[in-house]
Chains A and B, each alone.
Chain A
Amino acid sequence: MASFQQASLEQTNLRQATVVTLVLVTCLASAALAETKKEYRFTVGANANISVDTQYGAISVRPGSGNQVVVMATLKSDNVEVDQQQNGNRIEIASHLLQGADQQTGQVDYELLIPPDATLNLRSSTGPLSAERLQGDLTLEGADAVVNVRDVDNGHVHVRTMRGPITLTDVRNGHVEVVSISGDIHLKSVTGPLVQANSGRGKIFYDGDFGSGGNYRFTTHTGDIEALVPADVSADFRAHSVLGRVRHDFPLQPKHSRFSAEAGRSFFGTVGKAASDVVLRSFSGKIRLKQR
């Protein structure tokens, strides 16, 4: 009797598992069927200008080969279209939402392969946005988009988000301007003649050596600022928080300045040969300059 009950139970479990599996497979299959992949190819000259604008979806850009721009778009439904246009050296790609499209059905994910020297403009509300191994000017904008820029040389890098976190890694010799209303900003090995980061409520983390001959300006309102730098860094430092605390681990050499330091609220001084100028400002966030 017991073995009969057990067998019956196993059969029931098997049936349930089969039904669940079938439902899952059906869902996945219908989702896959609804997706459409499209590929666009363009031939451009040097210093092409490429823009991609999507309301919903990821944009990822890597260097391609030669003078070809390859755009691979994955459309999540028929409620969205891709408009593409080339005018000489300028390429514009944009998602076009149709009636009834929402964040899921209006999503288009883009992968681009572009000439490394191209100027790039990426916009997506949801993101993520990522660009790597490029040498042209980059502008990335998104409301909630997570932004990642990696391994970029010599270009201007402009990023702005509403609350999406921003991470820049290995950006060299660039004019960098990063702004977020409440997103955190991570700068790792970012150097250049001008590096500005501003976040209202987000934090700013810097991990690097502040290069040589650059101006670095980090500003927050309530967010903290933390800079992790090697002992042999060469920079003039100025830090001030109107209402927050400031700390540093360096034996700063006092220098004549029009600024006056206020214990716990500000400090200034020089380390090494003062190759770069570093200003850290916050209204009520904490500021910490740490030695690696």
Chain B
Amino acid sequence: MKCSDVERVLPELLDGAPDGAFPADFETHVKSCPACSNLVSDLKLISSEARQLAATEEPAPRVWLRIAAELRAEGLISDAAIREPESAPTRPILVPTSRRPRWSAWWLAPVAAALVAAGSYVVSHKPAPQVAKQQAPATRVASPAPVASPIPETPAATSASAPTPAPRQMAQKPAKPTDTIRPAVEPESSEEDQQFLTAVSTRAPSMRTTYENQLKAVNADIRETQAYVDRNPGDTDARQHLMDAYEQKALLYQIALDRIQ
């Protein structure tokens, strides 16, 4: 028997099949193969734990009968309401068989955290070596399309704007636009965003348009900044703005998490 054969019969372990129910070569292989041995022992553990969990979750039948008797005594339910079909002798009418669908928004928290983490990664991720090659300190290129032309320096600005040879931190200028660096994250309309909007639609339909517009705006900011950072990988201030934009998106998720549950 091979590992693949063992894996094929493993689901039966979850169904509680006794050890002897498997072929002899199954046992032989498991004993000789550490990987399969670990897998089998893990599955046995999971299976037994799951059975114990079910036992603790499920109250005894007498509990349901007592509750029914109490409710009947208080006039909250009629006998007809608790008459149970013979096929289901213990509980189902008193116990909701299907809970009201409730949107659990807790997935938004890790998503928001992931957004910040993604932003951090993008900001802290240093450009690849080939980017450095493309930077030519003497070359200055106009900023991207949305840039308005610089205004003339005011006299006051002139007095304090003398360039220094110090390393550029805030005003790092591009060497040359390049598309060789791909953005780490392209938040056009990710699966999480769609989930997010679906959740908003379900829980607060009137807020859907508002959140959708805000999300579009934040995503647009991220894309715009990301594109700029791609062209100007040495601009640390732009990277910080990218991080800020991701934080704004995380904030949007957090506000939704807090407000529309």
Chain A positions near chain B (C-beta within 8 angstroms): 55, 102-103, 123, 125, 141-144, 160-163, 179, 181-182, 198, 200-201, 219, 221-222, 238, 240, 242-254, 256-269, 281, 283-284
**A182 and B214 contact, Cβ closer than 8 Å, known pairs A247-B154, A250-B156, A264-B153:** yes
**A253 and B241 contact, Cβ closer than 8 Å, known pairs A103-B206, A238-B170, A263-B153:** no
Closest chain-B Cβ to A60's Cβ sits at a distance in Å of 19
Q: How far is the CA of A263 from the CA of B244 in the complex (A)?
A: 24
**Chain B 223-261 interface 0/1 with A at a Cβ cutoff of 8 Å (1 = within):** 011001000000101101100110110011001001110
Q: Is B237's CB under 8 angstroms from A247's CB?
A: no
Q: Is A222's CB under 8 angstroms from B221's CB?
A: yes
A residues in contact with B160, CB < 8 Å: 252-254, 261, 267-269
B163 at the interface (CB under 8 A from A): yes
| Contact among A181, A269, A281 for B218, CB-based, below 8 A | A181
Known A162-B214, A221-B221, A265-B150; 17 more pairs at CB < 8 Å: A141-B255, A144-B210, A162-B255, A182-B217, A198-B244, A200-B221, A200-B244, A222-B221, A242-B143, A246-B157, A249-B154, A251-B159, A254-B162, A259-B171, A264-B150, A264-B153, A267-B160
Q: Is A181's CB under 8 angstroms from B162's CB?
A: no
* CB neighbors of A among B141-184 (8 A): 143-144, 146-148, 150-154, 156-164, 166-171, 173
Q: Using C-beta atoms within 8 Å of the partner chain, give the interface range for chain B.
A: 35 or more
Closest 9 CB pairs of A and B: A264-B150, A269-B160, A252-B160, A261-B161, A240-B170, A262-B171, A283-B241, A200-B248, A263-B153
Q: Is A221's CB under 8 angstroms from B248's CB?
A: yes
Q: Is B157's CB under 8 angstroms from A247's CB?
A: yes
Cβ contacts A to B, 5 pairs, < 8 Å? A181-B217, A219-B241, A246-B157, A259-B169, A262-B161
- Interface class of chain B by DSSP: helix
Q: How far is the CA of A254 from the CA of B162 in the complex (A)?
A: 8
Q: Is B214's CB under 8 angstroms from A254's CB?
A: no
Q: Is A240's CB under 8 angstroms from B237's CB?
A: yes
- Interface class of chain A by DSSP: loop
A residues in contact with B238, CB < 8 Å: 242, 283
| Contact among B153, B159, B240, B260 for A254, CB-based, below 8 A | B159
Q: Is A266's CB under 8 angstroms from B248's CB?
A: no
| Contact among A55, A123, A251 for B156, CB-based, below 8 A | A251
A residues in contact with B156, CB < 8 Å: 248-252
Q: Is B161's CB under 8 angstroms from A125's CB?
A: no
Closest chain-B Cβ to A234's Cβ sits at a distance in Å of 16
Q: How far is the CA of A262 from the CA of B218 in the complex (A)?
A: 28
Q: How far is the CA of A160 from the CA of B259 in the complex (A)?
A: 12
B residues in contact with A258, CB < 8 Å: 166-167, 169
